[in-house]
Amino acid sequence: MPAESDDRSDAPPPTPPPTDLLERLVSLGKQRGFFFPSSEIYGGINALYDYGPLGTRLRRNIRNRWWRSIVELRDDIVGIETSIIMNPQVWVASGHVAGFSDPLVDCAGDCRRRWRADHLPAERAARGKEPDAPGCPECGGTLTAPRQFNLMFRTFLGAVEDSSAQVYLRPETAQGMFVDFKSVLNSSRQRIPFGIAQNGKSFRNEISPGNSIFRTREFEMMELEFFCEPGTDDHWFEHWRAERFRWYLEELGVRRPFLRLRDHEKDELAHYAKAATDVEYLYPFGWGELEGIANRTDFDLSAHQRASGVDLSYLDPMTGSSFLPYVIEPSVGVDRIMLTVLIDAFDEEVVRGERRVVLRLHPDVAPVQVAVLPLSKKEELTVPARGLEHRLRPHFATDYDETQSIGRRYRRQDEIGTPYCVTIDFESLEDQQVTVRDRDSTEQTRLPIEDLVPRLLGRFDI
């Protein structure tokens, strides 16, 4: 049965996050090792980011939960990994060479910046100007007439750099799954309906990237192509529309009022789409797309069948009928999910007269799940504390911290979203019990060391 999405479009809108939240989060992300500009010691490079130790852990947790939900817990979906560089004819057939472009305008004034023509109203509004005001959003200078700019990165395969050796870095992972459809079908013994899932890097030469890691030029995608019989596509579209919405609520713990489903109007549908819905989140800069779900019909398989001359139709072994499957595609970026859960989890409050920054991350995606903190740096506490942290490692993502006061260490763990801190004190040496502190409530509970693993496991879905 399809999951119920309950998008509650008639519910009152929530109060948007503070406009400076993204700036504060970027600062925290750099300070604590979530993400920072790539090549920063050389001045960075626009819209490219590196992920530090905590960011890498968080991204891996997001990836793993998506893969487990989409592939491992289902009988009808398999996973593959396809090459970043493909035969360039793939992109000709898919329409990317001719049509994967955005309208570009240049400022002839002082700033000389380039802008996406369709983003100009939003760029002006973000700078406190009227959306329909003339001229450049930055300096007010005269703008050139729009021209189309292809978003694919070009490179060359082999020693000779000419048109015959030109290839592209993939702008999406989807086409690899379409061209491998028949190979996967024959080797996996799947039957329609079934899906192919993939997680991997993609590249787009965005004209106006921005909002930190929300829109970048190198990003990581998680995509599913679900193949079904024409006539059943409406059912499967509704299924995935609801299922993907549920995933954010239940698997990542995103707050319900800040999520919505927005169906595309007919005039905004992509040329290949019969229907499309965005899962949107209310960011500090407004509602924005988190994930897209599209009914791509048989557009892609038809295009590759015509261009390659290879029959990509499916022969139903039960009925003997042959048809080109329709495809339902949920598509999302790891980077955008990461930014969303960080924004959604960010909180500030005053506890006993002190300001506390806390990331209320879902326990199952937190980069550190359990931190072990000896009350003192004395060896009689640090040795058993280290031993306990090693004992917890097979079950949880752990951290060990013995520097500064226990209060400061609690604050550090709050800032990186650690759900539970375990403190060993001198009393622990006598009664073999430890203190477990809850991140969200700050309540502390005394537990026997022997009961610690099963009691903590009961609070996670891992």
Give 288-299 pLDDT, tens digit per residue: 999 999 999 999
What burial class does residue 83 get, using C-beta atoms within 10 Å of its C-beta: 0-12 exposed, 13-18 middle, 19+ buried? exposed
Least confident among 95-99, 259-263, 434-438: 95-99
Q: How far are the Cα atoms of 161, 162, 368 from residue 158, in angstroms, in the given order?
A: 8, 10, 44
Least confident among 124-138, 172-186, 253-267: 124-138
Q: State residue 98's pLDDT score.
A: 86
Q: Tell me the two tokens of residue 120.
A: 């100009």
Q: State residue 149's pLDDT score.
A: 83
Locus of tokens 């549920």: 246
Task: Give which of 21, 124, 60 is closest to 340, Cα–Cα.
Answer: 21
CATH number for the domain running over 21-91+164-342: 3.30.930.10
Q: Tell me the two tokens of residue 240.
A: 């995935």
Q: Are 334 and 59 in contact (CB under 8 A)?
A: yes
Where residue 10 falls among pLDDT bands split at 50, 70, 90?
A: low
CATH number for the domain running over 368-457: 3.40.50.800
Query: What proportions of the chain, in percent to the nearest 5, are helix, strand and coil?
Result: 35, 30, 35
Q: Please, what is the Cα angle at 292 between 286 and 293, to 5 degrees?
A: 145
Strands 259-263 and 275-283: antiparallel
Q: Is it the case that residue 1 has pLDDT exceeding 80?
A: no
Rounded to whole angstroms, the Cα distance separating 227 from 230 reads: 9
Q: Tell me the two tokens of residue 7.
A: 């998008």
What's the rounded mean pLDDT across residues 435-443? 96
Q: State residue 165's pLDDT score.
A: 92
Q: State residue 11's pLDDT score.
A: 65
Q: State residue 5's pLDDT score.
A: 46
| Helices and strands, number each (H, E), in the chain | 14, 23
> Across the chain, what does the average pLDDT equal?
93
* Phi, psi torsion values for 128, nearest 5 degrees: 75, 20
Q: CATH 3.40.50.800 in the chain, residues?
A: 368-457
The string of pLDDT tens digits covering residues 343-399 is 999 999 988 888 899 999 999 999 999 999 999 999 999 999 999 999 999 999 999
Where residue 102 falls among pLDDT bands split at 50, 70, 90?
A: confident
Q: Are 434 and 449 in contact (CB under 8 A)?
A: yes
Q: Is the dihedral of CA 363, 368, 370, 375 positive or negative?
A: negative
What's the rounded mean pLDDT across residues 128-134? 90
Rounded to whole angstroms, the Cα distance separating 368 from 53 reads: 10
Q: Is it the case that residue 452 has pLDDT exceeding 80?
A: yes
DSSP E strands in 299-353: the ranges are 314-315, 322-323, 326-333, 346-351
The string of pLDDT tens digits covering residues 286-329 is 999 999 999 999 999 999 999 999 999 999 998 999 999 999 99
DSSP secondary-structure letter at 448? Answer: E
Q: Is it the case that residue 462 has pLDDT exceeding 90?
A: no
Region of residue 51 (left: phi > 0; alpha: psi -120 to 50; beta: else): beta
Contacts by residues 346-351 (CB-CB < 8 Å, ≥ 24 positions apart)? 346/17, 346/21, 346/24, 346/25, 346/28, 351/442
Strand partners, 198: 223
Q: pTM of the full predicted structure?
A: 0.89
Q: State residue 388's pLDDT score.
A: 97
Q: State residue 352's pLDDT score.
A: 82
Q: Is it the case that residue 3 has pLDDT exceeding 70?
A: no
Q: State residue 160's pLDDT score.
A: 85
Q: CATH 3.30.930.10 in the chain, residues?
A: 21-91+164-342
The string of pLDDT tens digits covering residues 196-226 is 999 999 999 988 787 999 999 999 999 999 9
